[in-house]
Structure 1
């Protein structure tokens, strides 16, 4: 099928309400499949103005209840993805009992999206039979040798990959593990995998942290790359995505938070959903994707801190750490000698054109000022996502090597006190208020 791109020189319009969008083109018409009752579908003649189409399935398929008897009876089908291969469209989708890994991935086929002659091809894989992983969020991918693969998974045991049999379009062979995030023994947010290939590398994109919480969503899109489709996939820091790695592509902006549920079209377009900061309503976006030194980038997030860093105090050369490597909320921030613990490593990424969030690699909690206080000497701690400005920080260069880190809510500076605890104070340009950001390098 032809894959001709359209110009994004103006905003997309029309019916833009969609979770987990997947973009394709058939002949001269664009189609967007997404989570929804009986499959959410939209179409566009120019790729810019979108209208809602009728769902494929008016009623749930009877065999679903054999695997997920308590699935959404409103016929809500999750995260579809499709590809034209061997003269047919192959549409993979998931049905699940929310919050569990009682899930199935199913398959439909059609000669034409426009004609809508979809055929039920049945079960692809289920995790309702006791598997550790979760069979949702499928993405079909055709590799550099024209072999089809399916990547899928969510939370639980992370992201998985399996080759597809070209005759049946069902899975065959070994199931590979590609990405995982955990806090101790507890699974953490990683889902919505997308694979693409460019210039000798396979790229794995996932959405991490929390979707579907309106304006309190902290979903974000991260990526890693590998020379081999089975991995390992390493981010820009050299961290394996199986070890919680992932470089942030986009997380939020001035108007929308919770960027995620992504698709990549022809290595030139990023499609994702997000939530309005104002009212929490969601919609999809189509953005130009570019590549620098074999890494993906978005134009609006160039020249920002994005990755894992150690935060080092200039006065005492000590590393910002979570006290005793705790993973609980309210654990205090302290400065310690460098032990190379994950509790001393911080994912820094922009949330708009000025401010950043700072997330601990060990706990997956955010650096914040306790109880959103604006008072002098208030304690700095970690906490789960609250979407409050007390969890957002401005990073301002003092010179080539040092920065001030200013809280958005209080306008006070991150400061190391005499007891090596982190607090906030009025910015006095003291050495205790200056920080070095050391890019985390993979150790051989």
Structure 2
């Protein structure tokens, strides 16, 4: 037997012997059930809490931070906000991150502070944030600031300059250096992702203390599509997630989150279909989008993992019934929400694809089973010494030799997690020796079922600081991860698959030297692995195949276009130099009679070559659900600056006093010169008309995205459109439709 394995197994035997020699462990009582929470979770202290970031402090509280909007109508803007909770059911507002005397000295007067990103490493809390205007180049030169604090509630001390400086665009302006998100990666380096629609998202390496950027940034998303990035590591992949479209269009906000993944923190990041987030026909796999309930525009998110190993997305969204914090066209009302993340075929999906919840949901699991009080762990352990700890974390448990829980941990899938200050070696034993995980020297080692897995820690890993250690058995897979603060980053993770692994209920045991805080022992949440049902086309009801040399029965026009011609089994329609948004209500629209009933699917096949990389704003064609020129939802293949996207847009009258309209859109799927589109229609309990968009690039595999809701009453028309500014192409592109069909919806 190899000498390393002998030592590991000997450690396991020694720990089991210690456990057997103490007073017999009590059986583990039933785990406390999580409370329920309901979106918006910030409603008890704020009407808006936008761009949320979140972290668990060593005192057991979860701390949330938000951008500098007023919390309530006519309230002060503040200088970023802080709140905390222990159970996600009740919250306490803590005030602002900065005041006028502590805000960054290099920010221009009147600058806003947006999109905080919170981390913990090196023995202190580190916050990155957007400064919209610096004193060096007044007039809009966004940069990224950084501040540190000894506790998650502050006091926050900003550095004397930006961590990422403003980036000139070469035309006298500046790119959008906004929306920071930090990642500690397995190569031992820290990275900061920044940027938005103007210029794209880039990643830059940071100095070890996280306070300075070094080297040359790498662009990882194309401009005009993503902002609000967040990166997590899972199962060997780095997942870059970003928000798309407009965050703040009031009742027409279609903000959504999409993901790509890479084996490197520098990318390239590809979506589920292999499309790059950094190419003109831009990719992105849906993480969250609106589903037709009250919440629209879900986005600018953070991730957390609870004590049961369940991931959650924390984000803001807009109630379509009360979209404004102030008068229309003022500040958007964007409260904080939270929902479960399920990993479906290796991709993060909110509630398995159901999207934002508007009913009570289980709150994230907090606290511990096995008789452990997470914030005073020594009281539930044999063999550990209770230390007074510090003002931040309270009492801690010191292990010098061996320790074990006084009560048994659950059997089967179980997760043990703690903040740790590691000595030379710490071994964690689950199931009476079924699983042995050791952090020793420069590596993590797992032994289970006669198998071994190891992972190397970075050469400069600092074991004297507080870090996060988790050991988890989920089915037959064992993982042991060391990272900063449990926010999806890592220093190292060992992973081992053990067929027929059985972990019985038994005390958790440790051997070695370490100090523990925030210790939790929990059954692992049951994973959801199947995507929620999506619309499926059934029996063909009606439609037109454009096969008889003209339009068939059931068609009607708004503003007929003589250039739209049916021939050779196609409707060929050169894009009109017209528009339908705002006051530009001069585009031709072609409608077909819709089927009777409260549920059906409309489908068309479209060929439209918009080229790549050049600017053609906003050439497009597709399907439209239409009440009038100021109340419609349109699904189109569209050129947006240098990108090509599929957009499900919405216009409505947002200010009835003068008829002013609002327009926004949600992205969906990947565009192609030939693509298939669907609108799945149903009428909800309130009688409103709900349309969900679906797209495909082969007519077989469908991507279903956002839903828009049109008001109850008159049934909207359904048809086709083809228009957009002709700048960038002469002659205009031709949209070719093969058919328009209506199906039953399964």
Task: Give 1:433 deviation, angstroms.
Answer: 2.3
- Give 1:83's match in structure 2, choosing from 93, 107, 119: 119
Counterpart of 2:196?
A: 154
281-290 or 118-127: which moved more?
118-127
117-126 or 273-282: which moved more?
117-126
Matched, 1:275 2:318: yes
- Distance in 2 (CA, whole Å) between partners of 1:369 and 1:47 is 33
Task: Give 1:213 deviation, angstroms.
Answer: 2.7
Q: Is the 8 A contact 1:321 1:344 kept in 2?
A: no
- Give 2:90's match in structure 1, choosing from 49, 58, 65: 49
| Cα pair distance change 1:408/1:109, threshold 3 Å | closer
Q: Is the 8 A contact 1:152 1:159 kept in 2?
A: yes
Task: Give 1:246 deviation, angstroms.
Answer: 1.7
274-283 or 125-134: which moved more?
125-134
Matched, 1:290 2:342: yes
Matched, 1:18 2:49: yes
| Cα pair distance change 1:63/1:325, threshold 3 Å | farther
Task: Give 1:55 deviation, angstroms.
Answer: 1.4
- Distance in 2 (CA, whole Å) between partners of 1:316 and 1:190 is 38
Q: Is the 8 A contact 2:650 2:708 kept in 1?
A: no
Counterpart of 1:112?
A: 151
Q: CA RMSD in A?
A: 4.5
- Distance in 2 (CA, whole Å) between partners of 1:24 and 1:167 is 19
Summarize deviations over 1:205-234 as a string: whole Å, max 9, x none: 111111123223221111111122111111
| Cα pair distance change 1:256/1:408, threshold 3 Å | closer
- Distance in 2 (CA, whole Å) between partners of 1:142 and 1:319 is 54
Aligned residue runs from structure 1 range 26-425, under 5 A: 26-27=57-58, 28-36=60-68, 37-59=78-100, 61=103, 63-65=105-107, 69=108, 71-72=110-111, 76-97=112-133, 102-114=141-153, 116-122=154-160, 123-127=162-166, 133-167=175-209, 169-181=211-223, 188-243=224-279, 244-253=282-291, 254-266=293-305, 268-280=311-323, 281-299=333-351, 300-301=354-355, 302-304=532-534, 315=545, 323-324=574-575, 338=607, 341=610, 358-363=635-640, 366=647, 385=664, 393=691, 410-414=715-719
- Distance in 1 (CA, whole Å) between partners of 2:229 and 2:708 is 34
Q: TM-score, normalised by structure 1?
A: 0.71
Q: TM-score, normalised by structure 2?
A: 0.44
| Cα pair distance change 1:320/1:217, threshold 3 Å | farther
Task: Give 1:201 deviation, angstroms.
Answer: 1.1
Summarize deviations over 1:207-265 as a string: whole Å, max 9, x none: 11111232232211111111221111112232211123222322224111111111112
Q: Is the 8 A contact 1:38 1:57 kept in 2?
A: yes
Task: Give 1:79 deviation, angstroms.
Answer: 0.5
Long gaps (5+) in structure 2? 1-32, 69-77, 324-332, 356-531, 537-542, 548-568, 581-585, 591-603, 612-618, 625-631, 654-661, 667-680, 682-687, 722-733
- Distance in 2 (CA, whole Å) between partners of 1:365 and 1:155 is 16
Long gaps (5+) in structure 1? 1-5, 182-187, 307-312, 349-354, 373-382, 423-430, 436-444
328-337 or 290-299: which moved more?
328-337
Pick the structure with greater CA Rg: 2
**Aligned with 1:202: secondary structure?**
strand
Counterpart of 1:433?
A: 741
- Distance in 1 (CA, whole Å) between partners of 2:701 and 2:118 is 48
- Distance in 2 (CA, whole Å) between partners of 1:100 and 1:314 is 55
- Distance in 2 (CA, whole Å) between partners of 1:241 and 1:402 is 20
What is the aligned length?
381
Higher normalized contact order (CA 8 Å, seq sep 6+, divided by chain length): 2
| Cα pair distance change 1:295/1:340, threshold 3 Å | farther
| Cα pair distance change 1:337/1:47, threshold 3 Å | closer
- Distance in 1 (CA, whole Å) between partners of 2:610 and 2:690 is 23
Counterpart of 1:442?
A: none
Q: Is the 8 A contact 1:101 1:128 kept in 2?
A: no
Q: Is the 8 A contact 1:79 1:93 kept in 2?
A: yes
